[in-house]
Amino acid sequence: MYELKGKRALITGGASGIGRAIGLAFARAGASAILADIDESGLVTAVDEISRAGGRGLYAHCDVTRASDCRSAVDLAITSFGGLEILVNSAGIIRRASVVDTTEDEWDRVMAVNVKSIFLLSKHAVPVMARSGGGAIINISSGWGLRGGLNAASYCASKGAVVTLTKAMALDHAAQNIRVNCICPGDTDTPMLRQEAAQLGEPLDGFLQEAARRPLGRIGTPEDIANAALYLASHAASFVTGSILVVDGGGLAG
């Protein structure tokens, strides 16, 4: 049902965590995948995993806040795969602080990585998808894009922007047969989640235990989010656009 045979995908944040899991899931489903990130060693490892799983993977060293890097990543999909049908905007960072304790540089960096990157990648990817007859864009937001969180002002603002940007893009590009959807994960076991504990000065074990306090009684795995992305990228979601898919173990349910 979720086959992606013959599809060509570009995934940012592909060196670790959710982006890496999505790249592997897409490759196993038959897609060719380019993973984009600034962590070149992580990219090499991730692409090797894709190859060992029988998929076709490449990587692009890409600072998603730079227009030239984003254009180059899309160009790599064209030169290597002949086109592009799927874009996953998974790159993200977090700064755990209130507006008072967030510096202007920190604010700008969070907004650039979490929001501007989607603009830059989509700006270059949409025309390529349109020439291929359509495609799917999947933006990774957060549960904190739908409600506020303590000491995470810049992150909440950025992820809220991702939710609304997704809806605007879905309207703008429906006529080109490009579906645009958003996933809002809850706490997921990634390097970024562990960095949050360090930023807050909290013991990691206690931080993770608190994060698991949700109806399903655990934090998410990158594979949980990858499965949702696989659905949204596939033909099974052919009538789904402008949607916000919450994958959080019930954290926002009540």
Q: Report the catalytic residues.
A: 155
CA distance 101 to 83: 44
Partnered with residue 57 across adjacent β-strands are 33
CA distance 122 to 214: 34
Most distant CA pair in the chain: distance in Å?
Answer: 50
Structure-block tokens of residue 249: 């173990």
Q: 3-state secondary structure string, the chain? A: CCCCCCCEEEEECCCCHHHHHHHHHHHHCCCEEEEEECCHHHHHHHHHHHHHCCCEEEEEECCCCCHHHHHHHHHHHHHHHCCCCEEEECCCCCCCCCCCCCCHHHHHHHHHHHHHHHHHHHHHHHHHHHHCCCEEEEEECCHHHCCCCCCCHHHHHHHHHHHHHHHHHHHHHHHHCEEEEEEEECCECCHHHHHHHHHHCCCHHHHHHHHCCCCCCCCECHHHHHHHHHHHHCHHHCCCCCCEEEECCCCCCC
Q: Is 233 left (phi over 0), alpha (psi -120 to 50) or beta?
A: alpha
